[in-house]
Amino acid sequence: MKEHAISESMSAILEIEQIVQHIHQKYQNFDEGDVATYIPELAKANPGHFGICLATVDGRVVRAGDWEHEFTIQSICKPFAFQMALEEFGREDTLARVGVEPSGDAFNSIELDPKTIRPFNPMINAGAIAISSLIKKKPAESGVRAFVQKMQRAAGRPLRIDPEVLASEEVTGNRNRAIAYLMLNCGIIDGEVDETLHQYFSQCSLLVNCQDLAMMAATLANMGTNPFTGEMVFDFRYIKDVLTVMFTCGLYDHAGEWAYRVGLPAKSGVGGGILGVVNRQLGIAVYSPRLDAKGNSVRGILACKDLASELGLHAFEFTNVGSNFMQSML
Ligand code: DON
């Protein structure tokens, strides 16, 4: 019985490996989209890079292409910062600063929800800056360190901030400054605007590779426990909050289309990463720095669509082939 289960599990992982390699090959030479240039350091990314990594909650990893290449996490820091705020301040105090409504607008819109006078959600810049204001610490570097440490535990390896990207963010971040001052004016954040923005820019400048993101996603999928180190990283009581907001708001003004076509909680970043979570099953990460007009990775979206359909991962997939794959591995 046991041997049978092991051989089924081996064939499932081999099948997933083949699917991932095939999807990588399929889009390898696809060159639509452009690397982000509004933060000058990001313009240095190699547009040809393309990596995929899947990490399962039972500790297996499938990798393809440039999975090892490091890039900055950018907005993929936002769900994790939201999780940290919930853990430290609880639901009521956190949601007093930020809503959970999709905005339908661009990530960097200078706007608040006119009904609540709060940022629409923690995945857009306004919401993420409000969260950074909450989780920053004194001195400012200790808040940054707390974030990096949490992310290291989720990735299962030491991580660092890219000082060049951080400097580039600080120099060109006037739109984020405008959002922060709007929120100061409305009483959402405190007067330590520079410290808040330093926290936010630092979070965005964390260097990760596809495997790190897949491990982080797998840690969320595994109710907060890193499946590789066994360490409890996130308080499981708040993971449903985070996954819900990722599902409805993680891809900004592409969120509805994403939920329809891919059907997974996910988050994109202008560095070119996309992280997706298959609850209780696996973490997905794709890296490709060519972005569409909405700031989402073009090949990242294509690869995730294919993965979701070929592995049956959509949350409302009635065949749920993904579940069968995973169950046969456990
Ligand atoms: O706020 C910014 O401009 C960036 N540091 C992060 C933006 C980002 O990744 C948007 N996501 N697609």
The C-alpha torsion from 86 through 87 and 88 to 92, rounded to 10°, is 40
Instruction: Spell out which residues line ligand 1, taking CB within 6 angstroms.
Output: 74-75, 107-108, 125, 169, 176, 204, 268-270, 295
The answer to whether residues 212 and 86 touch, using CB atoms and an 8 Å cutoff, is: no
| Residues facing 122 on adjacent strands | none
pLDDT in tens, 9-37: 777 888 999 999 999 999 999 999 999 99
Which whole number is the average pLDDT over 209-232?
98
CA atoms of 154 and 77, how far apart (whole Å): 12
Phi, psi values for residue 268, rounded to 5°: -110, 165
pLDDT in tens, 288-328: 999 999 999 999 999 999 999 999 999 999 765 455 555 55
The candidate with the shortest Cα–Cα distance to 186, out of 250, 293, 240, 114, is 114
Work out the widest C-alpha separation in the chain, in whole angstroms: 65
Whether 271 has a pLDDT exceeding 80, the answer reads yes
The candidate with the shortest Cα–Cα distance to 246, out of 99, 123, 128, 151, is 123
C-alpha 260 to ligand 1 mean position (Å): 23
Pocket probe mutation, ligand 1, options 125, 129, 254, max atoms within 8 Å of Cβ = 125
pLDDT in tens, 231-246: 999 999 999 999 999 9
The residues annotated with a catalytic role in the active site are: 75, 78, 200, 252, 270
Please work out, in degrees rounded to the nearest 5, the angle formed at the alpha carbon of residue 122 by the alpha carbons of 121 and 124. Answer: 80
Whether 330 has a pLDDT exceeding 80, the answer reads no
End-to-end CA distance of the chain: 13
pLDDT mean across residues, the chain: 94
pLDDT in tens, 27-83: 999 999 999 999 999 999 999 999 999 999 999 999 999 999 999 999 999 999 999
| From 123-137, 262-276, 310-324, the region with the lowest mean pLDDT | 310-324
pLDDT in tens, 149-165: 999 999 999 999 999 99
For helices 239-249 and 77-95, the axis angle rounded to 10 degrees is: 110
